[in-house]
Amino acid sequence: MTFACDLPVNSQGRFYHIDCRPGDLAPYVLACANPGRAHLIADFLQESELKGKNREYVVYTGTYKGIPVSVMGTGIGAPAAAIAIVEAAQCQPNATFIRVGTCGALQPGIGLGDLILTDECIREEHTTEHYAHPDLVVRAHPDVLGALETAVEELRLLHHTGTTCTTSDFYAGQARRIDGFPLRDPNKIERLRSLGVLNFEMEMSVFLTLAAVSSYELKAGGVTAVLCNRIDGSWSDSEDFEVRCVKAALKAVEILYATHGA
């Protein structure tokens, strides 16, 4: 038996944080940190309906070309994402999560607006250590990664596939030198670059880890658009980059649905 304090619900019987109940989420869930991006993705859906909205969390469910799809905004960072995934899985225990986000590139030659498909994650967010041993190597589910690779090729989007470093902090955690605050690992970018790591971001490893260790039939993968390159210092927050990411994820959903169904 699950006690109320272990898995709390609100006065409407909805899970406490994401404000949803079983049946509110579709089998395919596009997840993003930014609630504003969740609204953007929801605009691509037909019959989109707001299912839950609380704090930084927002959930829409609709269809895309007849396929049931949900969009979930989790807020920034690994702790918020973990809460969202755990509660979302209670609503949809067979969910396929595709993280749709933004990132910073760590290799020369990766351009602004390029897409990064995560194959493996370095887990520097510490949140997932509550669910799995720190030494566990986590990878995107092969079905999800394969669908994303096919999608970006069919859409002719510039992309790179490889290892992502998920961090718990945007500034010192990603070796940004900011006046007034110490930096404990000033050589971090060079170290990760030399290992072939493609990018920094703040949620991907949570999706991959929780899907891997869950007793539910969860799958996870993700695609992020490059907003900055930490090697050459370039930066742009063009919404066009996010749209590329969304189109790739939705195309991947089409591919997954055609192969595996709902």
DSSP codes, 91-143: H-TT-EEEEEEEEEE-STTPPTT-EEEEEEEEEESSGGGGTS-TT--EE--HH
Q: What is the pLDDT of residue 1?
A: 47
Q: Does any domain span residue 16?
A: no
**Which domain range does residue 130 map to?**
28-260
In contact, 216 and 92? CB cutoff 8 Å: no
Q: Is residue 74 part of a domain?
A: yes
Would residue 7 count as lying in a domain? no
In the chain, beta strands by DSSP E:
28-32, 46-54, 57-64, 67-73, 96-105, 115-124, 138-139, 159-167, 199-201, 219-229, 234-235
Residue 2 domain-assigned? no
Residue 113 within any structural domain of the chain: yes
**Domain total for the chain?**
1
Quote the pLDDT of residue 198: 98
Is residue 135 within 8 A of residue 126, CB to CB? The reply is no
Terminal-to-terminal C-alpha distance of the chain: 29
Cα distance between residue 229 and residue 38, in whole Å: 24
Return the residue matching tokens 């990760």: 192
pLDDT at position 2: 61
87 in a structural domain: yes
Neighbours of 38 (CB within 10 A): 25
The CATH number of whichever domain residue 183 belongs to comes to 3.40.50.1580
Q: Is residue 11 situated within a structural domain?
A: no
Q: What is the pLDDT of residue 262?
A: 79
Q: Which residues of 124-154 are buried (b: 16+ CB within 10 A; e: fewer)?
A: bbebbeebbeeeeebebbebbbbbbbbbbee
Residue 15 within a domain: no
- On whether the CB atoms of residues 107 and 200 are closer than 8 A, the answer is no
pLDDT tens-digit map of 246-256: 999 999 999 99
Residue 13 is predicted with a pLDDT of 93
Note down pLDDT in tens along the chain; length 262 residues: 466 889 999 999 999 999 999 999 999 999 999 999 999 999 999 999 999 999 999 999 999 999 999 999 999 999 999 999 999 999 999 999 999 999 999 999 999 999 999 999 999 999 999 999 999 999 999 999 999 999 999 999 999 999 999 999 999 999 999 999 999 999 999 999 999 999 999 999 999 999 999 999 999 999 999 999 999 999 998 889 999 999 999 999 999 999 988 7
Which two tokens mark 139?
């990878």
